[in-house]
Amino acid sequence: MLDLSYTSPTPKVIAGATGDWELVIGLEVHAQVASKAKLFSGASTQFGAEPNSNVAFVDAAMPGMLPVINEFCVEQAVRTGLGLKAQINLKSAFDRKNYFYPDLPQGYQISQLYEPIVGEGEVLVEMGDGTARMVRVERIHIEQDAGKSIHDMDPNMSFVDLNRTGVALMEIVSRPDIRGPEEAAAYVVKLRQILRYLGTCDGNMQNGNLRADVNVSVCRPGDYERYRETNDFGHLGTRCEIKNMNSMRFIQAAIEHEARRQIAILEDGGSVDQETRLYDPDKNETRSMRSKEEAHDYRYFPCPDLLPLEIEQDWVDAIKASLPELPDEKKARFIKDFGLKDYDASVLTADVANAAYFEEVARGRDGKLAANWVINELFGRLKKEDHTISESPVSAAALGSIIELISKGDISGKIAKEVFEIAYTTGRDPVEIVETEGLKQVTDTGAIEAAVDKVIADNPAQVEKARANPKLAGWFVGQVMKATGGKANPKAVNEMVRAKLGG
Ligand code: ADP
Ligand code: MG
């Protein structure tokens, strides 16, 4: 039986001339380990450094140089595996993947083909419409990144920058469980969120620290379920792999385009060739890079320079004990402890720093009110100015005291926005602002009564009308609020006005 939480509630269907088609997608995400040093050398991984300034002899593949494993990188891979609730393999091994390319001085990449460090795990993918589903992770292995060839600096020469050579990557391979472009993007977003919570990868796609190879095939309705029940890939269509995508938008566009290209071929009576393609965002199309026939023969073999990697269960347990609260758990806790709506809890936990800020604002206060203020006022304002939470001029403590002032009835929601504005632009303390600017809500019934009496006395014609039609009482409330500069407690004013008019 198929567990429904593992199937997509919203698979993308594309109508063709010969009937409907469905999409099947599997992602290979390359996540750069957040480590100061490379996987097998002590060279720095700093981004944007002077070309070829972060290159150890072993990165440059000088004769006789031997790789030495960086324990910290291994730890991050294990941490990532644990964060994806995956099996951790106490024994794994490194293999050489041989190919010739100028940015790969060794002539091979050290990777893990046969025995990866992490086995099966899963990622809960949430869609914007409130639906969620599980995507299976097949494995995570550790490998070296390559350098960078630069072809556009000189008309006659190519350059190579080896700073990236040997940087540790985690390749996170999903099962073909992703069923549409939006789901693919949501999967990458969720994966990035988990990696950032764990601190194992900074997830900066622009710097290339997170990139995805996207495998796409199409099939007929029902075929995917047959594959899931039998585990027989024969039910699925032939896939193409689109290499090196580093933007959510491009991932979606490339999948959409690639699926339509395959459908056109199939409907024309042709067959899809398994090949590697490149996406061209300018033309919004994928182009063949190499077909399976001309695919590299990588001549994988166990790396003779490195012993198999054996780790202790105690070490794994210690890493597990040090894991932070992860997004799914944090979100569930926010919903439970602060009474938040699912959507608000997702927004607040999307980023770990945002979540921490919210928690400080909400702790011991009205959680829903706090969520409203953090999301709508603060995030809205920060976004407009392109600021992150750490740059917020209003601290969590300050926003917390605004929430308290509202809850206590000291200020109305409207005045609170004024206080927030002053606090945001000047950095002043909300309690002090309310005091100094005399913004405290008037709850003193004597003062409110005087204001109500004055408005009634000044507007005899309106009083006449309101007595005939009680709905018009609202006008008096408005006048009193205006007269008190918005500081009167609206509820008290309302009651007072109705009592006076009714009498
Ligand atoms: P390879 O060894 O050629 O890279 P893998 O079996 O490791 O192939 O699969 C690579 C990726 O392709 C995985 O993410 C997997 O889920 C995905 N994949 C496999 N078959 C299909 C298919 N028919 N359609 C879409 N994706 C697929
Ligand atoms: Mg692969």
Specify whether 163 is located in the same domain as 217: yes
Q: For the chain, what is the domain count? A: 3
Domain boundary among 320, 337, 356: 320
Cα first-last separation, the chain: 72
Longest dimension (CA), the chain: 101
Residues 106 and 179 in one domain: yes
Instruction: Give the list of residues 6+ apart from residue 141 with CB closer than 8 angstroms, or none.
Output: 92, 111, 112, 113, 116, 117, 118, 170, 171, 173
Domain boundary among 256, 286, 320: 320
148 CA distance to ligand 1 middle (Å):
26
Provide φ and ψ at 499, rounded to 5°: -65, -45
- Tell me how far apart the alpha carbons of residues 70 and 201 are, in angstroms, rounded to a whole number: 16
Tens digits of pLDDT across the chain (503 residues):
556 678 888 899 999 999 999 999 999 999 999 999 999 999 999 999 999 999 999 999 999 999 999 999 999 999 999 999 999 999 999 999 999 888 999 999 999 999 999 999 999 999 888 889 999 999 999 999 999 999 999 999 999 999 999 999 999 999 999 999 999 999 999 999 999 999 999 999 999 999 999 999 999 999 999 999 999 999 999 999 999 999 999 999 999 999 999 999 999 999 999 999 999 989 989 999 877 666 668 999 999 999 999 999 999 999 999 999 999 999 999 999 999 999 999 999 999 999 999 999 999 999 999 999 999 999 999 999 999 999 999 999 999 999 999 999 889 888 999 999 999 999 999 999 999 988 887 777 788 888 898 999 999 998 888 888 888 888 998 998 888 888 888 888 888 888 888 75
DSSP 121-160: EEEEEE-TTS-EEEEEEEEEEEEE---EEE-SS-SS--EE
CA–CA separation, 193 and 196 (whole Å):
5
Same domain, 335 and 478: no
Q: Calculate how far, in angstroms, residue 27's C-alpha sits from the geometric centre of ligand 1.
A: 8
Amino acid symbol at 166: G
- What would the two tokens of residue 451 be? 């204001």
* Closest ligand by atom to 242 CA: 1
CB atoms within 10 A of CB 153: 8
**Domain end point (choices 263, 292, 320):** 320
Q: Do the Cβ atoms of 121 and 158 come closer than 8 Å?
A: no
Distance, in Å, from the CA atom of 196 to the CA atom of 80, rounded to the nearest integer, reads 10
- Upper half-sphere CA count for residue 54 (Cβ side, 13 Å): 22
* Nearest-angstrom CA–CA distance, 318 and 315: 5
- pTM for the model stands at 0.89
Based on the domain organization, do 329 and 314 belong to the same domain? no
What single DSSP character describes residue 376? I
Say if residue 287 is in the same domain as residue 333. Answer: no
Which residues form the pocket of ligand 1, taking CB atoms under 6 Å from any ligand atom?
A: 24-28, 173-176, 215-217, 233, 236-237, 239
Ligand nearest to the CA of 236: 1
Q: Are 457 and 353 members of one domain? A: no
Please tell me the number of the ligand nearest to residue 214's CA. Answer: 1
DSSP-H helix ranges across 199-273: 223-230, 248-267
Rounded to an integer, what is the distance from CA 282 to the centroid of its chain?
25
Instruction: Looking at the structure, tell me whether residues 293 and 350 fall in a common domain.
Output: no
d(CA 143, CA 16): 41
Do residue 311 and residue 389 come from a single domain? no
Q: Rounded to an integer, what distance in angstroms lies between the CA atom of residue 147 and that of residue 157?
A: 17
Whether residue 373 is found in the same domain as residue 460: no
Same-domain pairing of 294 and 379: no
> Any idea how long the chain is?
503
170: CA distance to ligand 2 center in Å?
13
What's the domain range around 388? 325-436
